[in-house]
Structure 1
């Protein structure tokens, strides 16, 4: 039998339950929704989690669609799942945990006796460390963004190649291979010897079905490549960026973008214009480097200096 929180499954079974991580202000228990998919045959362990940022919902959509389709009698190994990590932020549809104003994906590996976010991070990190592989499902918050997979351990890390292989198996088509900030699960888990990726499944307000479908396919690709399921992952070449150029608004007004998300842009090519409310162009911003048009703000109105968009740079293929 394999357990995660109150979910316990014998070989060939699926179970759901709660992983208790503290109490709310009225003394009620906080229980993260968890699932155990225990394959009929022994094998590796995969850990999946979603919504460590409370408004990044596409990962929850992936699990909602994926788990009912998993037949444990056809699986070798075990899948441990935490469906909603940032419980408090999810309840109010916010990015950060409102109890301690913390971005959960900066709290790993956590602290059992720490803040609310540190306690949740510690409990989910303990679950992740039971696995051979970790997939931490994210999205670009409510910005508009391409579908991509992030490798955050850094190119000099001893598990860099293993994390890249995991990203290639997931097969979003685009990879950001750039060392992430301290406190990210995709930084902390490789330090403990567990290859980890951080798929960023687009950006949306609510669910984006196209990105969710890419995520479901990506997890199934991972299950095939690492022999949880029969079959082979495509392992197609991925377009890789190792840096970003970020652009702010040189003037206030309304933003009009020239390229579409995911398109290649060349140095000197117009990225966006800022106009007044009557359409008069105030400023035109061009690309500093050749790259991929990666991410944009969702709302058109900007103040001077406000974030507008990002271009992925230092592009290659692997």
Structure 2
């Protein structure tokens, strides 16, 4: 029997339910939508979650396409899914949890008696810690960003190789292999022996079809490669980055980019110009070193010092 919250499935069954995580300001119960799929055959457990940042919807787009494809009769093992983690942020389309102004993916492993975010983190972390593998589906908020997978445990972690192989199987084509900040699920779950990755499925307002399709393919790759479903997965080389150079604007105005996502740039190459409202160039920003143009703001208007773009550095492949 597989149970998460009110969802319970015997072998060969699929069930949906709710995972209670607290109460709202009117005293009504707050609970997260969950699904458990219990295969007819024995096997591993995969934990999947989406929308820990309330405006990042591509992961939810993946979940709502993958779950209908999972037939318990074909499945070996169990798939446990939390469809919307940051319930409060999702309701108002905000990145952070507005109840406690917390980025929920900085609250893991959580606290059963803590803040609203800590309680949600505790409930979902408990499910992830019982799994053999975990996928924490994200996107680059509403910025423009390539599709990538993040390995956040750090290169000296005992599960680093396992996390890196999981990222390769997911196969976004690009991997950020950099130790993450405290409180991330992909940082905390490996400490419990669970290889975990953080796919960042592009950046969009609402759903981005290309990124959702890539996330569906990646999740199905994991299910196949790790024996939940029959079949084989082709192993593709990944471009790996070890960090970022981030660039702010030296002046207020409007940004014109000279580089595009995935483009390789060299030290001294122009990344962007800032113009005034009449097209006069006020300043030009160039790359500090070699790398890949990885992420940029979506809107052109900037204030002095405001974030503009990121170039991934320490590039290799594996």
Query: TM-score surpassing 0.5?
Result: yes
Q: Which residue in 2 is equivalent to 1:276?
A: 276
CA apart distance, 1:12: 1.4
Q: Which residue in 2 is equivalent to 1:40?
A: 40
Q: Which residue in 1 is equivalent to 2:11?
A: 11
CA distance in 2, matches of 1:233, 1:222: 9
CA apart distance, 1:70: 1.2
CA apart distance, 1:275: 0.6
CA distance in 1, matches of 2:126, 2:256: 46
Secondary structure in structure 2 of the residue aligned to 1:101: coil
Secondary structure in structure 2 of the residue aligned to 1:220: helix
CA distance in 1, matches of 2:293, 2:193: 33
Consecutive aligned runs of 4 or more in structure 1 exceeding 6 Å deviation: none
Structure 1 unaligned blocks of 5 or more: none
CA distance in 1, matches of 2:39, 2:313: 41
CA distance in 2, matches of 1:234, 1:272: 37
CA apart distance, 1:235: 1.8
| 1:131-175 per-position Cα deviation (integer Å, ceiling 9, x unaligned) | 000000000001110000000000000000000000000000000
CA distance in 1, matches of 2:80, 2:109: 18
CA distance in 1, matches of 2:64, 2:183: 27
CA apart distance, 1:309: 0.1
Whether contact under 8 Å (1:171, 1:234) holds in the other structure is no
Point out the more displaced range, 119-128 or 68-77.
68-77
Instruction: Report how many aligned residue pairs link the two structures.
Output: 318
Q: Which residue in 2 is equivalent to 1:119?
A: 119
| 1:291-313 per-position Cα deviation (integer Å, ceiling 9, x unaligned) | 11000011100011000000001
Q: Which residue in 2 is equivalent to 1:233?
A: 233
Q: Which residue in 2 is equivalent to 1:50?
A: 50
Q: Which residue in 1 is equivalent to 2:147?
A: 147
Structure 2 unaligned blocks of 5 or more: none
Q: Which residue in 1 is equivalent to 2:247?
A: 247
CA distance in 1, matches of 2:309, 2:235: 30
CA distance in 1, matches of 2:191, 2:201: 24
| 1:46-66 per-position Cα deviation (integer Å, ceiling 9, x unaligned) | 000000000010000000111
CA apart distance, 1:130: 1.0
CA apart distance, 1:233: 1.8
Q: Which residue in 2 is equivalent to 1:289?
A: 289
Q: Which residue in 1 is equivalent to 2:257?
A: 257
Whether contact under 8 Å (1:55, 1:89) holds in the other structure is yes
CA apart distance, 1:90: 0.3
CA distance in 2, matches of 1:234, 1:283: 46
| 1:65-96 per-position Cα deviation (integer Å, ceiling 9, x unaligned) | 11111111111100000000000000000000
> TM-score, normalized by length of structure 2?
0.99
CA distance in 1, matches of 2:309, 2:110: 32
